[in-house]
Structure formats: structure tokens, C-alpha cells
Structure 1
Amino acid sequence: MAIEKMALVNIIGRFEDLDETLIRCCDSGCFHIEPAFKNEANSTVKLLNEKNPFGVPLKEFASLATEMGIELKETKGTRFNGWTAEQFNELSENIDSEIEEKNGEKQKLATEVSELEGAVLQVDHLRGMNSDFSKIFACKHTACRIGRMPADNLAKLQYYDQTFFFVPFETTKDFCWGMYFCANGDKELVDSIFRSMFFERIHLPDYVSGNTDEAIAKLNDQIKNKKAEIEALDKEIAVLAEKHDQTILEAYTALKKRYDIFELRRKVGAVKEKFYIKGFVPKKQADKFSESFDDMEEVEVVLLPPDADAYCTPPTVLKNGWFTRPYSMLVEMYGLPKYNGFNPTAFVAITYTLLFGIMFGDLGQGFLLFLGGLILGRKSKQAGGIVARCGFSSMIFGTLYGSVFGFEELLDPVFENLGIDFLPLKAFEQSSFILLTAVGIGIFLIAVSMLLNIYIGFREKNYEKAVFGCNGIAGLIFYGSLVTFVVSKFILKIELASSAVFALLLVIPGICIFCRVPFAIAAKYKKWKLSEDEEDMTVGGFIVENFFEMFEFLLSYVSNTMSFLRVGGFVLSHAGMMLVVMTLLNMSATAAKPFTLVIGNLFVMAMEGMIVAIQIIRLEFYEIFSRFYESDGKEFEPMSVSFDTEVNI
């Protein structure tokens, strides 16, 4: 697997052809635009920084669509191609003038309905008052107040010997609604008394008349009539929406394209009376891209090698095959490699698929995952592809484990008939072998990661990385010797080699790692010198800093290796969880057994499948990627139009 080769493209032409040039670049679907110039010292060259004139009409059409209930979407149509911002503004004003009057009436009616509904809520608390509101408020010598106060204060009114009386209408746990009467001459004093008891006055609208029931009935009739008027206006607006639907969608589509393309002017350079555009296209599409401008005589397209411009870094496009393509999602999640870097997708695809099968081995459950991946692939090819491949791997290892939906003995007769006596592999009977194998897998993957790092280091002529680093040749020898020492001494019980061999395989690589920076500089420049960062460092500082780094490297060798124990741990965990399901199955009644089996398997698949997937990602990113992968690449983003309603102007 590799990285797609790119070609640097320079486009030069007259300003009258700029918009058409940008449109063709966008329509090609393969042009990644870059800022035309990055050298600020060049005063003769400037990047265009004009205000986008299409922003205002674009927002206007989006607002019109919202008012008419039209769902914005890309629509085919060519009648608005070449329109100016002024023409779009005029069109939006003409359509808006038709709907503005209707919306104004609708908003006014909605406000009136809201006020009427509020009045209904207020009057509803005054049920039981049979007098006419208008007659009560028309009294010349008596003041009347309607409102509510905390229910606890109702009993306190008896302590006031004043010329007023309070009529309660409705009392709840928290409030008491009612009205009080007093003489006009005493209303200021009485009002202050009720305010001290937190009386909240309710001001009834002037149009409330009659007694409580009559007032509510009249208010509800008014609400009903006004809502009917609103429905009639909605129908009229719907007719207008149907009339202008296609026009608005086509205009919005054309506007959004013109808006996005005009925004790209910020990356276009201006040289006297000509524009200058720079970007990248995939090399295999470069000739076709160049040919699309053949009919524009004043526009010149120049194809160059991707490294022709020192100020411009080519973007990265991962080039993967059928099996590995879905796993590019995981690589992109970590970060893309730089252009001409190493594409690790194949390595991730193989290791991820195998590790998932080992940790989640079950023939039946794997088959369900495989089918689920095929179905999911219709909506998301990457996610569905990963699930399908992991499910197939789970089926293979489930066969080796002899596990089918948790039944561990179901495949035993098959292996007996085939004469394979060492299969199936029983998790609990061979737990030590499984855990040791998991560590062995970790050692192998770490060693492969180091080999990849060495290969990448030599390709980049980075000798510190390839030879002297903790993941270079010195690190590989040191790690391999350390593993050999532990395995031979504590597992195979073999006598160690002589001290000279031990010194050769451990001490010398350790010294190389400790002094990796000066050794790498000496190998590169054929002379001994310090890097710029180390020129001011003392000998003591150099020793202390590299001592702790060396200690960190040793810890990483141990921790990364032991981290792969989780591979064997999840093999045992899966077997243990299915043992619980089988135990519950045996304890269940005959009628409940199918239900228990299905629910148990689905629970294990959902919970453990998700945990295993996450744990493998952790192994990939921390134990494997950290040894060789550098994610400092730039994503390939071809020019395109985004049909949404978010516009910042």
C-alpha cells in the first residue's frame, strides 16, 4: 500500500476569467487549492481579500425558504448561472414582497392569540364570581383589585382591622386567587397591606367582560376565530411556497456555489493584471484536469513535480486495496502520514483483524458480525467493512476454539473425525499457553514495528531514527537480546551465554541508544559535533537527561510487551462470559431457554465486542504506532460546494 502521487498545478490567467477558472477547478472534484503566496516580503504579489457579495442574498434566500417551509437542498438548474449579486438581491426582494404582508398578518394574529390565551389563564382562576367584570371596575366609590397571594398569608388577613374585605375564588397548595374591595379613600393603605403579604395584582385586559364563565367563553371564541385566520394565512403562504419553490431552490443552489467559489479568492494571488492559483491534483488525473482548460485561451495551466515549491507541502491521499481500504478510517483517526511517508493501513488491517479474531473468537457470533457488517456497509462502507472483516476473523478463531454461540463442545466431533487431536483450543484448560502466546504476539508485533521504523529511517536518511534510536537497529538488538535472556532463563531454563556476548548484545546497543544524538550527527556529517540544542548543555546535563530517557525506554519495552497480555485476557474473558450464559441457560425453564440463549449472546456481543474493538485500537496507537509512525501529513481537500444554511458574512 502506498500514498497517491500528486502533481503541483500553477494556473495563470486574466481576472475576467477568474470566476470561470475557479468554477472549473471546483467541478473537477480533484483540485486541492493552496494559498498562492506565503512570502509576505514580496510586495508586488497580494492575495485577494474581497468581501463576498453573495453572502447577503444567500442569507436572504435561506430566510425565505425558512419562512415558506421549504427544505433547502441542491437542485439542478442553469437559469441563474452567471447572475450577479444585485440580480439575486432583486429577485429575493420581489419574492419577499409577496410573502412579507402575509407573514406580518400572521405574526400579529399569533401575538393576539398569545395575549388571549394569557387572559384565559388569568380569568380561569376567578371562577365562581358571577358578577360582570365591567360593572365591578366601573364602581366610582369603591376600589377593586384582582390577583393572587401565597396561600399561607390568607389567614393573616383577620389581624387587620381595616375597611376592606377579601373574596377568595381558588386556593391551591401555594397560592390563593381572589379579589379585595375597599373605599377609594383607603385604597393606598389597603394596597400597601396586601403588598406586604406579597399580593400579585392581575391586570385584566379591557376586552374581558361578563362574568367568569361568559368571559372565558368569549375569549375562547376569539382565540378560535384568530387561529382559523392563521390557518387561512398558512394556506396562502403554502400556495406562494409552491409557486416559488423551484425558483428559490435553484437560486440558492447557484448562490451557494458562487458564494463558496468567491470565498476561494482569498487563496488566489494577484500579480499586476493577472491572477495566480496554486494547488495539487492526483498525478493520474493531472492531464485530464489540464485538458479541461484547453478552450480558455488566456488561461495557462502548468503541471510541476509536487516538491517544486518549497513553501507548499503536498497533501496526503492514502492508496489502499480492497481489503485494507476500510481501515484507513483508523489511520486517519490517528493522523495522516506526510507525503512520501509510509502508509500503515495494510499493517493495521492485518493486525487489527487478527487480534479481533483472537480476542473475540466464536463461530456463531462471528457469523452474525459478518452479516451485520455487510448490512452496515450499505450505509457506511468503512465501518461496515471493518465489522465484516472482524466477524470473518472471529469465525476462523471461533472454529479453532470450538466455540459456537458459547457451546464449547459442539465442534469436538468434527476435529476428532479429521484426526486433529490438538484442536479445539480450550481457553480454561490451556490458559497458560494462551497468555504466553499473547505475549509472544506482542513481542513479534513490536519487533515488526521496529523493523518498519528502521526502514522508514533509512529511507528518510535519519540515522538517529534508523540506527541509534530506541526503535532503531540498536533498540531492536537490545530488545531482542532482553527478550531472549528472559525466555531462556525463566521459561526454557537454558544457561545464558558468556558475559562477552551479553555485553555485545546489551551494553553496546544501550550505549548507542544513550548517545544516539551525537552518534547520529557523526554518522551524517562524518565528524563529531553537537546539535544546536546541545551546544549549551554540560556533560553532566547530557548524562542526567539521557539517563532518564534511557530509563523511560526500558520501561516502555516492558510495559508495551506486557500490555499484550490483554489479548489473552480477553480470550479468557470471552470464554468466562459465555460460561455464565451457559450456566443461566441450564438454570432456566425449558420455555425460557431460547430467550436466555439469545439475550445472553447479544449482550456478550454488544458489550465485549465494543470493548475488544476499543482495546485493539489502544494497542495499535500506543504499543505499535508510537514506534514508527509520524502523523504530520496534510489532508487532501478537493474544492467543493457545501450545500448548507450556515453562512458567515
Structure 2
Amino acid sequence: MTQRMLHVALEVGEAEAPQAAYLLARHGVFSPEHSVLGIYNPANSSGQRYHDATRQARDKLIRLAAHYPQFPSAVTTPSEPPTLSQLHEINAWLDELVQVADQSRLKREEFERLLKNKTALIDDLAQFATLDIDLAQLARPKQFIQTLVGSVVESELAALMADLAQVGGIADIFGRQAGKVYLIVVCPQLRCLLSRSMLEKHGWHEIHLPAEFSGPPREVEFELKNLCQGITKRLENLEQEDRQKLSGIADRLAHAEKSVDLAEPYARLVGEAVTEPGGQLLIRGWIPRRNLKRLQTQLDKQLSGQYQLETRPPQAGERESVPTAMRYPTWLGPFAELVRGYGVPCYGDFDPTLFFMLSFTVMFGMMFGDVGHGLIIALAALALRGDAIRFRPLIVAAGISASGFGLLYGSVFGLEGVIEPLWIAPLSDPMRMIHAALLWGIGFLIATQLIMFYNRLAARSWRAALFDSGGIAGLLLYLGGVGAVYFTYTRQPGANVASAIAGCGFLMILIYHCARQTEPWPGRFFLSLMESLETVFNDFVNTLSFMRIAAFSISHVALAVAISTLSQEMGQAGQLVMLVFGNALILVLEGSIVAIQALRLEYYEGFSRYFTCFGREFQPLMSPQAERNKQD
């Protein structure tokens, strides 16, 4: 649920600023006020120098972490953020480590490159394994003949041999692999160009022998493998040296990393810390009201009264800049994620999470009402593992809702009549189902209208709350319109009164739009009339949109009946396969579609109406260690 916020202004001396910032980050309840970002911090200020030194140390630690994959835990850790001079000392020491690490890294990269090159040569040498000649002789220039090594596809071999004979050349096959034939071609030096042109015509792919191929293939392979073993040994020695270096500096390195962690909050706050006369710093931000007393207690304990803290509630013009802090029980978490997927409500606006949870599960159940399918969905949620487990409450709620409506519909695995319906059988009485869907839609839209009214009051938009389509006027228009249609359809008295109420609402909206328009008359009137008529049209379309609830509830039963009918036309084994496959199809495909449709109704018929202002989520200042723990 949305928490009430307070604006805080914490004034501390420059010496106490790092400790105060770390204290704020450690408790994770303070969100900096970004509106003053970077305005009062010249480049040569002590705060900016602290920020730069922290960033430099962090960058060096990241480079060292890439070289030394894991830092052992420090035996002793600092309890307070470092001073600026201590940060300079840390940076100087880290510079030395980075230089050593870079030298080791360059050596490792060179050895790895050599190893990769020699390994590739061994792979290339495999195709010459059947030869028992000095490979260097093939590559060495000759006076009267030209020796070429290469390959052609199997289908071109016969034609190549015939053409080669015409120019006085010969070829020897020394290998076949993957549809290719490997050849040594010998031709007269005088006809070398002609021979090459002829070979290329047949798709000849020449193989250039590297300088390392000097000697018979077996000897070359032996030498290359010895080289690889030597390079591997050097890499192992480098790793051993790195481990020895790390063991000698591990505690100090971990101590330095912890010091930079402690310095990080103040470095992040430099942009929001306003330098005041006398070397004082003013840190502004927002904090949930419920956390203020605990924060004050810790400030008294850590800063010994060397600070001033001023608090005030949010002001009227700060509605969009105040962060929205929301706390939910675990079971409401997945619903909150779906709400945040659309946006974060402005501070003070209605928090729709609980309303979303109730309406979403009800609509899913209405469209997918089935005792058997609902129980399978709920049980399947219990088998979720990993990151998906956070959606378990949502899926369980949807399954229970589907089972509940299945009892009301008398539907078990899509079959009506298995149990007596407690309310309505959608396939047997579709008109009643349509009426129920429309009635739900009317109730849903009335609720959204009330939420819009509340949000306009929260924004202190008094005129809009009374006269806009999202206020009292819009509510009168909708209630009157629904009443007029109902009384006319049922031929009951009251249609005239309902029409008068709707007319009053429409007139209020028309006058409100006319007052807001800047166009001259009569254009102002026609523009306002169009906007007011658009409200009537939207109310009508939004109401009809809920007929999809009836459509999907009926189609769910109809699809199950179709699968059951098809299964009866098959043998015993085929019947079982059809029933299992068909119900799985309903669960996965139709279940997904119904969930999307329910979410669509929430987003387009609900959120789009009352999300008139998008706020920013409360993101507290946190220490790097706390952020790492949160990610884990």
C-alpha cells in the first residue's frame, strides 16, 4: 500500500557528510531529491573531488575483479567511510595493482593467442596425415614445376583430372572429407597460370601451407603438441603467480573494496548535496513517515547531534516529484508487478493494486469458469520454481477463481451437467451470461469513475472533480445513461428521471469544456460538443467491451464439448489421447488468451481511465553491498 512521505533536509558539516550519507544508504529509506542535481557543486569542491576519487577507485576495483575473479573476505573491515585523503591513498595503491594485473593480463592474452594458433595448426594438419613427405617441399618454389595443394568437390574431380592432363599436369589424391577431395597438383612452371585458371573453373580451393609445416606431418604434429604443452604450462604458472599475489593482498584489497562501498553513498549524493556557507552541506530528499523516528535515532547515535534535520509534508505543487513508496504483502507482489508494468501512480493517487487483484481474478474466473481446469491451474502453480515462483500467488488466485465460477456454472472439464450449477450454465443460457457480463462491466466502470473522482480530489483539481467526464458529472452521465437504457428495455417507469440525470451530467461536461476552450464562438461550442459526445460514445463502447467475458465463458464450454465429441468417435486409446491433449490445449492456449483478455480489460477500461498522472517509484539510496544482496 502507498506510504505517506515526508520531505527531509539534513544539514551536516563536510567532515560528517560521508558518514551521514552512508547512514542514509544503510537504512535504505531515503530517496534523494533529484531536482537539485548538480546545481551547487563546482568541479573543485571537496564533494566533487570525493566523488571523482570514489569513481576512480571503483573503476580500478572493477578491472582488478576481472583479473582476480574472487576477492576473499577481509579479516577486518572499516566501520566508517574513508576521508578524501584515505581515498587518494587507496587509489595510489590500486594503481600499482592495476599495472601489475595489466602486465599479467597481456602475457596471458599473448599465450592464449599462441595456444589458439598452434591448436588450429594441429587441426589443419590432420588433413595431411596420410602423407609421408616433407611438407615444406610442397610449399618451396621450384624451377621447372609448380606444386599446388588444395581441394575440390567430389563431383568435379573427374572433369578436373581430364583438363589437368591436357596441360601436362598430374594430381595425387591424399584425402577425402565431407564431400571434398584433397589433392596435390603438379604442373609445368610454364603452364602455371593456365593450370590455375583451369583449376578455379572447377571450384578449386587452394590450401596455403604455413611456415610451421616443415617436415613430415607426424613430426610437425609432435612439435606443435610440445609447443602447446609448453604454452599451457606457462599459463598455469601465470595463474599460480596471480593466486600467490592475491593471497598476499587479499585482506587489504577486500578492505579497500569495503572502504569504497562505504564512500559510494556520499559520492552518489554529491549532485544532491547543496553547499551552504560555512562548509555545511544540505542533503534533500524524501522518506516514508513511518521510518522517520528510527532514522533520527540512528543519526543521534552516529553523528552525536552534529546535524540539523527539518521535515515537512509534501506541498501541493510537488505531487509529481514526490516518489511513490508502496509496500505489499508477498501474495500481492505479482499483481503489483502488473500494475507497475502500466505505470506508477502519482503520490496521493489511488493505489489500484488491491482493486486490480480482485477484479482481475474475478474476470479470469468468469471467462474460464471450470472446476477441473481451475484446480489444475492452482496445483500447477505449486510446481513453479526459480524466478517464476513469484507469480505463484497470482496463478493460484486465478485457478481458485476459475474453480469457484466452475461451481457456479456447473462445469467440470468443460462439461455442463456433471454437477448442478449453483447460478448459471453459460452454454445453456447465453443471454443470462451476457447480462451478467454487462452488469459486471457497469459495476467495474462505476468503480473506475469513483477512482477518477478520488484522483482529481487528490490533485486538488476541484473543478475537474465536479464537472469533468472523470468527475461527478461523468458519473451522473453514466449512471443516468445506464438507468435510462435499463428502464426502457424493461419497460419500467423511471426512464425519464434517468434521462434527466444523464442530461444534467452531459450539460455539466459541456459547460466545463466550453469554459476551458480558448477558441472563439461558435467554434468553441462545437469543439466542446464533440468532446462531450465523445464521452458518451466512450462510455457506450467501454460497457460493450465487457461482453467478451460472456463470449469467452461460452466458448470455453463449447470447445470442451467439441473435444469430448471428437474423442467419442475414436477408439479407447485415441479417446484418452484426445481428452488429454484437448484439455491441455484448453489450459495452455485458451487459459493464456483469457488471461490476456482480462489484463486488456484492466489496462484499457481501467488504468487508461484513472491513470491521469504517472509518478516515479520510490528508489532509496542504497549501499553497493545492499544492492548486491537485493539482486541475489
**Residues 357/301 of structure 1: CA separation in 2 closer, same or farther (3 Å cut):** farther
RMSD: 4.3
Secondary structure in 2 matching 1:316: coil
Contact 1:356–1:390 under 8 Å retained in 2:
yes
**Residues 403/73 of structure 1: CA separation in 2 closer, same or farther (3 Å cut):** farther
Contact 1:290–1:301 under 8 Å retained in 2:
no
Aligned residue number for residue 507 of structure 2: 511
- Residues 287-342 of structure 1, C-alpha deviation per residue, up to 9 Å, x if partnerless? 21122121424742323222269668321123557875653333322222222222
Aligned residue number for residue 27 of structure 1: 26
Contact 1:585–1:593 under 8 Å retained in 2:
yes
Aligned residue number for residue 394 of structure 2: 386
Q: In the alignment, which of 264, 279, 284 is matched to residue 278 of structure 1?
A: 284
1:74 & 1:280 partners in 2: Cα distance? Answer: 34
Gaps of 5+ in 1: 413-421, 519-529
Aligned residue number for residue 411 of structure 2: 403
Secondary structure in 1 matching 2:366: helix
Aligned AA (2:286): F
1:488 & 1:512 partners in 2: Cα distance? Answer: 23
CA-CA distance at 1:108 after TM superposition:
3.5
Q: In the alignment, which of 591, 602, 605 is matched to residue 620 of structure 1?
A: 602
**Residues 271/310 of structure 1: CA separation in 2 closer, same or farther (3 Å cut):** farther
2:459 & 2:410 partners in 1: Cα distance? Answer: 47
Aligned residue number for residue 6 of structure 2: 7
**Residues 517/304 of structure 1: CA separation in 2 closer, same or farther (3 Å cut):** farther
CA-CA distance at 1:585 after TM superposition:
4.8
Contact 1:52–1:259 under 8 Å retained in 2:
no
**Residues 497/255 of structure 1: CA separation in 2 closer, same or farther (3 Å cut):** closer
Matched ranges for 1:151-550 at <5 A:
155=160, 158=163, 169=174, 177-181=182-186, 202-212=207-217, 214-215=218-219, 217-218=221-222, 221-222=225-226, 225-226=229-230, 228-229=232-233, 232-233=236-237, 236=240, 239-240=243-244, 243=247, 247=251, 251-252=256-257, 254-259=259-264, 261-272=266-277, 273-294=279-300, 295-297=302-304, 299-307=306-314, 313-318=321-326, 326-373=334-381, 376=384, 383-412=391-420, 423=422, 425-458=424-457, 460-490=459-489, 492-494=490-492, 497=495, 501=497, 504-518=500-514, 531=516, 534-535=517-518, 537-550=519-532
Aligned AA (1:211): P
Contact 1:120–1:219 under 8 Å retained in 2:
no
- Residues 245-294 of structure 1, C-alpha deviation per residue, up to 9 Å, x if partnerless? 96456654543453454133122222232211001111111021122121
**Residues 219/405 of structure 1: CA separation in 2 closer, same or farther (3 Å cut):** farther
Contact 1:143–1:183 under 8 Å retained in 2:
yes
Contact 2:324–2:346 under 8 Å retained in 1:
yes
**Residues 95/613 of structure 1: CA separation in 2 closer, same or farther (3 Å cut):** same
Aligned AA (2:558): G
Contact 2:168–2:187 under 8 Å retained in 1:
yes
TM-score by length of 1: 0.80
Aligned AA (1:97): V
Aligned AA (1:348): F
**Residues 477/135 of structure 1: CA separation in 2 closer, same or farther (3 Å cut):** closer
Structure with higher helix content? 2
CA-CA distance at 1:243 after TM superposition:
3.4
CA-CA distance at 1:561 after TM superposition:
0.5
Gaps of 5+ in 2: none
Contact 2:170–2:186 under 8 Å retained in 1:
yes
Contact 1:12–1:300 under 8 Å retained in 2:
yes
Contact 2:427–2:554 under 8 Å retained in 1:
yes
Contact 1:69–1:241 under 8 Å retained in 2:
no
1:161 & 1:311 partners in 2: Cα distance? Answer: 92
**Residues 256/337 of structure 1: CA separation in 2 closer, same or farther (3 Å cut):** same
1:140 & 1:593 partners in 2: Cα distance? Answer: 79
2:446 & 2:46 partners in 1: Cα distance? Answer: 49
CA-CA distance at 1:637 after TM superposition:
0.8
Identity of aligned residues (%): 20
1:84 matches 2:101: no
TM-score by length of 2: 0.82
Aligned residue number for residue 148 of structure 1: 150
1:503 & 1:94 partners in 2: Cα distance? Answer: 82
Aligned AA (1:243): S
1:565 matches 2:547: yes
Q: In the alignment, which of 609, 612, 616 is matched to residue 634 of structure 1?
A: 616
Aligned residue number for residue 117 of structure 2: 115
**Residues 349/92 of structure 1: CA separation in 2 closer, same or farther (3 Å cut):** same
Aligned length: 615
Contact 2:426–2:433 under 8 Å retained in 1:
yes
Aligned residue number for residue 521 of structure 1: none
**Residues 440/140 of structure 1: CA separation in 2 closer, same or farther (3 Å cut):** closer
**Residues 566/49 of structure 1: CA separation in 2 closer, same or farther (3 Å cut):** farther
Contact 2:438–2:543 under 8 Å retained in 1:
yes
Secondary structure in 2 matching 1:269: strand
**Residues 380/285 of structure 1: CA separation in 2 closer, same or farther (3 Å cut):** farther
Contact 1:474–1:512 under 8 Å retained in 2:
yes
**Residues 36/276 of structure 1: CA separation in 2 closer, same or farther (3 Å cut):** farther
Aligned AA (2:297): E
